[in-house]
Amino acid sequence: MKKLLAMMLFVWACMVFPALAEQQSDDTKRAKIHTELGAGYFGMGKLGVALEELNIAIRSDSRYAPAHNILGLIYMELREYDKADESFRRSLSIDDTNSDAHNNYGWFLCQRNRVDEAIGHFMSALKNPLYTTPEKAYLNAGQCSLKKGDDQGAEEFFLRAIKFQPSPPQALFYLSDIQFRRARYNDAQFYLEQLMKSGPTPEGLWLGARIAHRLGNRDAEANYGLQLRKHFPDSREAIAYRNGQFDSAVSTEGRK
C-alpha cells in the first residue's frame, strides 16, 4: 500500500511540477513582452500607455526585475518620486546585479540631491563585467560629483567615460568646462575640439566662444558666435553671446 501511494505521489509530481515550471516561464515571457512594450511607449513619451503595459507585466510576474526598473523611470518622469524610489528599490531587491537598475536609480537619487547614495549605485552598476554601457554610469557619476562641487572627482569619472567607444559627448563638454573654470584655456580648447567632431550644440559653441574670448582669439570667437546665431538663434547661449556675457555661464542643469 505504501509503495502504491509513493508511486502515485511520484506520478503526480512528474505531472504537476513541469506544468508549474512551464506556467512560470509563460508568465515571465508575458512580463518581458509587456515590459518591452512599456519601455517603447516610454521612449515615445506615451507615459499613460507605458504605465498600463508595466502594470500588466508586473501582474504577470511580480518578480520580473526589469519591469520594476522601467516603472521607476515612468514614475520619475511623472514626478511621483515616492513610487519611483519604491520601484527602483523593488527591482534591485529582486536582482541586485542589474546594472541598468543601479544606473537608473543612481540618476534618480542624484536628481533628488542624494549625491553620495547615487554615486554608490553608479559604482555598483560598474561592478558587473557584463554591463554593456559603463560609459553612462561614469558620465552620470561625473555629473553627480559636480553637484557637490567635486571637480576633481568629476574629472576622473569623465576621463574614464571617454575611454569607451563611442564616448559620451557630454563628458567632453564637462571636461572642457572644468578646464575653462581652472583657467587652463588650451586644455579646454583640446576637449572642445573633440566635442565639436560630434556636431555643434548650443552649450558647446558658447563654451568655445568664451574660451576664444579668454584667449583673445577674436576670429574664433566670432566664428562660434556666427554658428550660434545660425543654428540655435533662440537658445539661451545665443542670447548670452549677443549680450556679450562672456563671464557668465549658462546653466546646463536638467540637460541630459
CA angle 187, 191, 195 (to 5 degrees): 160
Q: For residue 80, what are the CA distances in angstroms to 76, 85, 129? A: 6, 9, 32
pLDDT tens for residues 31-61? 999 999 999 999 999 999 999 999 999 999 9
CATH number for the domain whose boundaries are 168-256: 1.25.40.10
- Over 50: is that where the pLDDT of 230 sits? yes
Cβ 42 vs Cβ 70: under 8 Å: yes
- Over 50: is that where the pLDDT of 6 sits? no
pLDDT category of residue 24 using cuts at 50, 70 and 90: low
Estimate to the nearest angstrom the gap between the alpha carbon of 43 and the chain centroid. Answer: 13
CB atoms within 10 A of CB 219: 8
Q: For residues 241 and 226, give the distance between their C-alpha atoms in angstroms, rounded to a whole number.
A: 10
pLDDT tens for residues 121-146? 999 999 999 999 999 999 999 999 99
pLDDT category of residue 165 using cuts at 50, 70 and 90: confident
Mean pLDDT along residues 105-130? 96
Q: Is 198 exposed, middle or buried (0-12, 13-18, 19+ CB in 10 A)?
A: middle
Q: How many CA atoms lie within 13 A of 156 on its CB side?
A: 4
DSSP letter at 1 equals -
User: Who wins on pLDDT, 228 or 165?
Assistant: 228
The number of helix segments (H) and strand segments (E) in the chain equals 13, 0
CB atoms within 10 A of CB 11: 10
pLDDT tens for residues 211-220? 999 999 999 9
The three cell numbers locating residue 147:
553637484
Q: How many CA atoms lie within 13 A of 58 on its CB side?
A: 19
- Over 50: is that where the pLDDT of 12 sits? no
Estimate to the nearest angstrom the gap between the alpha carbon of 29 and the chain centroid. Answer: 26
Maximum Cα interatomic distance, the chain, rounded to a whole number of Å: 101
CB atoms within 10 A of CB 21: 10
